């Protein structure tokens, strides 16, 4: 059996909410707000500030939805509110604000601006798996690896989350995160209460850029290392490249993105022209007209290999 992740689609939302609603740890944190979670997620789906993914297990003849992961880019004001004791359950609070028309999330324009200057605040909304998969280490490892993959390359300023188990708590602390004091809202490196007591009440674990960059060798510290992009890909080009990194032919990309095959090929040509103009030595020059040729495949392979090491090229930014 193989595990994979992909962006959440509108048709996934109801099933994802069911996973949350039937989780014995997570569901009680929402209270009455759980009834509005589906509506809130549907309203936000597709926005840059709402980064939602599903996890699937591929069987021989079927695909099983294993879990859901959601993180958000929020305003400075909302982050300060969350960090001010007494703490609240973040998921429920975000649902309530969306339903009141008081969204704490950045607009697409604000995400681009913050990612180019100042940095982004990340609040983890959800990371929940079906209870039948709770004892599968590879599932938890996939969630963690996906979180890193989804956030690498952004100019991050601060990150907050709430844990769902003692195992997740331990792993998160070992990764370099700190506890947020329930007394004054400052970062501390010790638990004020035993793990089971901490998890039973609203709490936060996280870190800011200044503290993260001092924690050399941790994966959380690596997320805050940033370099500016050099190519300035357009949003349509970024979407194609992100989809291409997950694999598939140009025909697959056309279906995934909902565009024509000719539009896919045109976008590849624009991408290659942009790369050739700014970094001539990165990929072979002069691709043939047919992008499916061996020369075209080599060009694509080298570009995607570069982008796997430089995810900042695929993050929204105002250049």
Are residues 118 and 25 located together in one domain of the fold?
A: yes
Half-sphere exposure of residue 127, counting CA atoms within 13 Å on the CB side?
22
In this prediction, residues 48-52 reach a mean pLDDT of 96
- CA 263, CA 254: separation in Å to the nearest integer? 8
Q: Is the pLDDT of residue 273 over 60?
A: yes
Are residues 256 and 180 located together in one domain of the fold?
A: no
Instruction: Answer for the pair 285, 270: CB distance below 8 angstroms, yes or no.
Output: no
Residue 302: which pLDDT band, with cuts at 50, 70 and 90?
very high
Digit-coded pLDDT (tens) for 117-156? 999 999 999 999 998 888 888 888 888 888 888 999 999 9
**What proportion of the chain, given as a percentage, has pLDDT over 70?**
96
Residue 248: which pLDDT band, with cuts at 50, 70 and 90?
confident
**What proportion of the chain, given as a percentage, has pLDDT over 90?**
72
Q: Compare 300 and 95 and report the one with higher pLDDT.
A: 95
Boundaries of domain holding 218: 2-223
Are residues 77 and 182 located together in one domain of the fold?
A: yes
pLDDT of residue 286: 55
Q: Is the pLDDT of residue 180 over 80?
A: yes
Place of tokens 């769902």: 164
In this prediction, residues 91-98 reach a mean pLDDT of 98
pLDDT of residue 171: 86
pLDDT of residue 291: 47
Are residues 77 and 198 located together in one domain of the fold?
A: yes
Place of tokens 């072979």: 284
Count of structural domains within the chain = 2
What CATH number is associated with residue 204?
Answer: 3.40.630.30
pLDDT of residue 319: 62
Are residues 145 and 272 located together in one domain of the fold?
A: no
């Amino acid at each position: 059996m193989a595990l994979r992740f992909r962006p959440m689609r509108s048709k996934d939302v109801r099933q994802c909410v069911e996973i949350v609603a039937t989780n014995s740890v997570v569901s009680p944190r929402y209270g009455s707000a759980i009834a509005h979670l589906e509506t809130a997620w549907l309203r936000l789906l597709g926005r840059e500030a709402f980064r939602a993914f599903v996890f699937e297990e591929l069987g021989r003849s079927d695909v099983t939805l294993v879990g859901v992961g959601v993180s958000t880019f929020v305003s400075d004001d909302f982050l300060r509110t969350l960090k001010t004791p007494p703490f609240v359950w973040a998921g429920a609070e975000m649902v309530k604000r969306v339903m009141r028309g008081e969204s704490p999330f950045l607009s697409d324009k604000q995400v681009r601006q913050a990612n180019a200057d100042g940095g982004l605040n990340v609040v983890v909304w959800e990371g929940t798996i079906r209870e039948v998969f709770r004892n599968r280490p590879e599932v938890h490892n996939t969630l963690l690896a996906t979180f890193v993959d989804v956030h690498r390359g952004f100019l991050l300023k601060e990150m907050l989350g709430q844990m769902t188990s003692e195992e997740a708590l331990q792993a998160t602390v070992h990764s370099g995160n700190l506890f947020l004091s329930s007394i004054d809202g400052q970062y501390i490196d010790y638990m004020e209460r035993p793990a089971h007591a901490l998890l039973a009440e609203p709490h936060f674990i996280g870190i800011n850029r200044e503290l993260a960059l001092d924690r050399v060798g941790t994966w959380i510290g690596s997320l805050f290392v940033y370099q500016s992009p050099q190519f300035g890909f357009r949003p349509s080009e970024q979407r194609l490249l992100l989809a291409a990194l997950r694999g598939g032919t140009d025909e697959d990309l056309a279906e995934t993105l909902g565009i024509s095959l000719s539009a896919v090929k045109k976008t590849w040509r624009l991408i290659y022209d942009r790369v050739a103009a700014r970094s001539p030595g990165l990929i072979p020059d002069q691709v043939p007209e047919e992008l499916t040729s061996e020369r075209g495949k080599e060009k694509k392979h080298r570009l995607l290999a570069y982008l796997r090491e430089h995810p900042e090229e695929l993050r929204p930014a105002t250049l």
